[in-house]
Amino acid sequence: MTPSPVWRPFTQHATEPPATEVVRTEGAFLETRDGRRILDAISSWWVVTHGHRHPTIMTAIAEATQRLDQVIFAGFTHEPAERLARALVEMAPPGLDHVFYSDSGSTSVEVALKMALGAARNRGEARTRIVVMEHGYHGDTIGAMSVGARGVFNAAYEPLLFEVDTLPFPAAGREQATLDAFGAFARGRRAAALIVEPLVLGAGGMHMYPPFVLAELKAIAHATGTLFIADEVMTGWGRTGTLFACEQAGVAPDILCTSKGLTGGSLPLAATLATAEVFQAHRSPDLSRAFFHSSSYTANPIACAAALANVEIWRTEPVLERIAALGRAQRMRLEALAANARFARPRVCGTITAIDLALGGSGYLAAVGPRLRAEFLRRDILLRPLGNVIYVLPPYCVTDADLDAAYQAIGEAADAVS
Ligand SMILES: *Cc1c(COP(=O)(O)O)cnc(C)c1O
């Protein structure tokens, strides 16, 4: 057979083994063409929350296709989008009264940045800077890369990226330095917005920080008229133990980005929620003040129906209890693993655990990453370390036995690559 024409994401085709073909998914598992059942311990890149092919979501999608496909969303509307927007406003932190739909996490971030700049311009304020956090990740489009950490992923595109003001990561004991840096940038009154991943910086290496930092950042933003953007693309929908991570800090952002778990991980959809203040800054008899953004597939009715089914699951199933139990089960196993001297910096936030393998160098290009991945796959476990950072981010339906298998594989793989 000729090689596949598919060019895969984040893949070095010269060195990586061929992709594994999946023919069926169910719950926490991927079933392969050659009959293996692989535990999806990273929720297929963090999107699948309740489990693959949750029946409530699959049924909602099937029913939605009986009536609607894509519908233009300027000048027209449809029930799935209207109902979902109301549900999101009700479930999100208070004050986020407006919902702008798009189709990926990166796009929801681009939308948030454009809202912040647009609001400043429409108010006649010379605020054009964005403040970001060290190790942040917000997506792979040019704007989203600009507000994320610079490194090997975006070195080639650096000439296209805009300048930002970067806060040091609030490592334990050094939180004040982060707050002071933000205070200095914000008091300059050139900052339109601060964008942060609340509580967990995902792709940057699963760095975790406590809720009080988030609350303090929000207080500074509020006092200085800087908009506070919470990128909850990964942390939303229960990942950190609450529906949204901001809840743990009692923080209501001015703008909130959600995607990944919004449809339970079944279909691409994103939403950027904004306060009345941000919305009103764009509302005017003057067309030139409108918010100039659209995705062709904005508010896709089938994706909105899938998201409504996800909301239904949150409302009718004991999801919070389930993720609390998952958090405890993960913590127990991580603590056992941390006794092994090969590991360092065990950390937990809600349903997410992470630990560093203390050998083979650090950083995303650490050679140990691909070797670990291969060891996991040999054991029918899908884990995808970020360099030397091993993390477990499973669907909420995962069982204790599944977790045992995952953590046993982590111990064995660490031995195998040592
Ligand atoms: C994954 C992610 C994004 C980008 O989402 P895509 O759907 O991949 O574009 C943005 N922000 C955070 C925090 C993410 O984890």
| Residue pLDDT, tens place only, 298-308 | 999 999 999 99
Identify the residue whose C-alpha is closest to ligand 1 atom 8: 105
Please report the pLDDT score of residue 80 as a whole number: 98
Please report the pLDDT score of residue 404 as a whole number: 98
Does ligand 1 have an atom closer than 6 angstroms to the CB of 197?
yes
- The mean pLDDT value for 307-325 works out to 98
The chain-wide mean pLDDT, for the chain, equals 96
Does ligand 1 have an atom closer than 6 angstroms to the CB of 255?
no
Residue 110: band (very low, low, confident or very high) from pLDDT cuts 50, 70, 90: very high
Residue 2: band (very low, low, confident or very high) from pLDDT cuts 50, 70, 90: confident
Please report the pLDDT score of residue 360 as a whole number: 57
Nearest atom, ligand 1, residue 141 CA: 9
| Residue pLDDT, tens place only, 188-204 | 989 999 999 999 999 99
Does ligand 1 have an atom closer than 6 angstroms to the CB of 202?
yes
pLDDT of residue 126 exceeding 60, the answer is yes
pLDDT of residue 311 exceeding 60, the answer is yes
pLDDT of residue 22 exceeding 90, the answer is yes
What CA–CA distance (Å, rounded) separates 70 from 61?
13
Nearest atom, ligand 1, residue 197 CA: 13
Strand extents, DSSP E, 317-377: 343-349, 352-357
d(CA 138, ligand 1 centre) in Å: 5
Nearest atom, ligand 1, residue 139 CA: 4
Ligand 1 mutation target, pool 44, 234, 266, 297, most atoms within 8 A of CB: 234
282 phi and psi angles, rounded to 5 deg: -100, -10
Does ligand 1 have an atom closer than 6 angstroms to the CB of 395?
no
pLDDT of residue 367 exceeding 90, the answer is no
What CA–CA distance (Å, rounded) separates 30 from 384?
15
pLDDT of residue 266 exceeding 90, the answer is yes
- The mean pLDDT value for 16-41 works out to 97
Looking at residue 52, the DSSP 8-state letter turns out to be: B
Per-residue buried b or exposed e for 336-367, using 16+ beta carbons within 10 Å of the residue's own CB = ebeeeeebeebbbbbbbbbbbbeeeebebebe
d(CA 233, ligand 1 centre) in Å: 6
Ligand 1 mutation target, pool 208, 233, 263, 352, most atoms within 8 A of CB: 233
Residue 324 near residue 216, CB atoms below 8 Å: no
Please report the pLDDT score of residue 222 as a whole number: 98
Residue 45 near residue 8, CB atoms below 8 Å: no
Percent of the chain whose predicted confidence (pLDDT) is above 70: 99
Per-residue buried b or exposed e for 376-414, using 16+ beta carbons within 10 Å of the residue's own CB = bbebebbbbbbbbbbbbbbbbbbeeebbebbbebbeebb
d(CA 394, ligand 1 centre) in Å: 17
Please report the pLDDT score of residue 364 as a whole number: 63
Nearest atom, ligand 1, residue 232 CA: 13
Please report the pLDDT score of residue 362 as a whole number: 66
Identify the residue whose C-alpha is closest to ligand 1 atom 6: 105
CA torsion, ordered 356, 358, 362, 365, to nearest 10 deg: -80
d(CA 149, ligand 1 centre) in Å: 13
Q: How many helices (H) and strands (E) does the chain have?
A: 12, 16
- The mean pLDDT value for 289-311 works out to 97
| Residue pLDDT, tens place only, 54-87 | 999 999 999 999 999 999 999 999 999 999 999 9
Q: What are the structural domains of the chain? A: 58-316 (3.40.640.10), 321-417 (3.90.1150.10)
Does ligand 1 have an atom closer than 6 angstroms to the CB of 261?
no
Residue among 198, 185, 194 nearest 236 (CA): 198
| Three-state secondary structure call for residue 26 | strand
Please report the pLDDT score of residue 331 as a whole number: 98
- Which two tokens mark 46? 């963090």
d(CA 104, ligand 1 centre) in Å: 7
Please report the pLDDT score of residue 139 as a whole number: 98
d(CA 336, ligand 1 centre) in Å: 31
d(CA 105, ligand 1 centre) in Å: 4
Nearest atom, ligand 1, residue 234 CA: 15
- The mean pLDDT value for 364-389 works out to 91
Nearest atom, ligand 1, residue 144 CA: 10
Residue among 403, 371, 365, 407 nearest 386 (CA): 365
58 phi and psi angles, rounded to 5 deg: -60, -40
Question: What pTM, to 2 d.p., does this model score?
Answer: 0.98
Does ligand 1 have an atom closer than 6 angstroms to the CB of 148?
no
DSSP bridge pairs for 18: none
pLDDT of residue 361 exceeding 70, the answer is no
What CA–CA distance (Å, rounded) separates 408 from 334?
11
d(CA 44, ligand 1 centre) in Å: 13
Residue type, 21: E
What CA–CA distance (Å, rounded) separates 307 from 188?
40
Please report the pLDDT score of residue 1 as a whole number: 76
Identify the residue whose C-alpha is closest to ligand 1 atom 10: 138
For residues 3 and 150, which has the higher predicted lDDT (pLDDT)?
150
Q: Could you give the C-alpha distances from 245 to 91, 236, 241, 257, 375, in angstroms and in order?
A: 12, 6, 8, 12, 32
Q: Which residue has the tokens 């005017």?
A: 284
Ligand 1 mutation target, pool 43, 109, 133, 232, most atoms within 8 A of CB: 109
